[in-house]
Amino acid sequence: MSTLISVANMSKSYKDKKVVNDVSLSISSGQILGLVGPNGAGKTTCLQAILGLTDFTGNVDVLGFNPKTQRETMLNEVAYIADVAVLPKWIKVEQALTYMAGVHPNFNIDKAKEFLAKTNIDGKSKIKTLSKGMVTQVHLALILAIDAKVLILDEPTLGLDILTRRQFYTHLLEDFYNEDKCIIITTHQIEEIEHILTDVAFIQEGKIVLADTTENVKERFKLVSVSQENVEQAHTLKPLFSNSLMGLTSMLFDNKTKEELQTLGKINSPSLADIFVGVMTKETC
């Protein structure tokens, strides 16, 4: 794997507030990284810095380019979808494809048409006549038809229904992803993308609080269904969080062995959503 994006000690402040605080990340070919955090955690600002859309301190390298000084050249190899898919409402779908073919050197109009052929979107339709989900599909067709090595997605399915969201990620894997490329996805709904992520980074108040492969993260944390008679003992092992429901207590533990936990109750594999909640709250039990 080759490193496609390198971020070292990146920070960004607005007046007296530091919204990105000393962030360092490395993303290689073949990786799908989920940058996950609550609203206002700094996710979008991180992406804007990587894309050269905002100033920052620190160092960022994208495919060998400096986004501050080489943004125009860099964007020939980088594709981006923001949290709101904005296209001119007056333009027809087929006109949008023709326009992209004229302005972007790496845009493949045949690939875009092939993608749209899988949908029920008429090329002669104007954007203003399409639903939000359809506009997102058009936007996705325009982006995925670019021969880019890096794809950055900022809350790409915000406001879409569950079927459209699933179709979006299916198309993403089938029509863009391969081992020579990388994808960064920001979201605060990690349960929706957990199945496609190779790596995850949790961000809180501008700081990366956890970053690793999804495999390593799931091995590190353990979710235990604690028997009622063992709850007091379990608290001595300092779980990240505990939740009691209908007489059953679930606790999330960090860096505990199975031998330490097996007498407490049934050990389960936590979801990334469980781990995210635990890392973000960190109860002192």
What is the pLDDT averaged over residues 35-61? 93
Q: Are 126 and 96 in contact (CB under 8 A)?
A: no
For 17, phi and psi rounded to 5 degrees?
-105, 125
**Token representation of residue 89:** 């409402």
Q: What is the pLDDT of residue 67?
A: 95
Bridging pattern class, strands 199-204 and 32-36: parallel
Sheet containing strand 199-204, edge to edge, reads 78-81, 150-154, 182-187, 32-36, 199-204, 207-213
CA distance 70 to 125: 36
Query: What whole-number distance in Å separates Cα of residue 82 and Cα of residue 85?
Result: 6
Give the mean pLDDT of 71-88: 83
Task: Of 191, 265, 261, give the one whose Cα is nearest residue 221.
Answer: 261
- Name the residue among 73, 60, 58, 56 with its Cα closest to residue 27: 60
What is the tens place of the pLDDT at every residue in 197-226? Answer: 999 999 999 999 999 999 999 999 999 999
Confidence grade of residue 137 (pLDDT, cut at 50, 70, 90):
confident
Q: Which of 25-39, 143-157, 159-173 has the lowest mean pLDDT?
A: 159-173
187 burial via Cβ count (<10 Å: 0-12, 13-18, 19+): buried
E strands present in the chain = 3-14, 17-28, 32-36, 57-62, 78-81, 150-154, 182-187, 199-204, 207-213, 221-226, 241-245, 248-254, 265-268
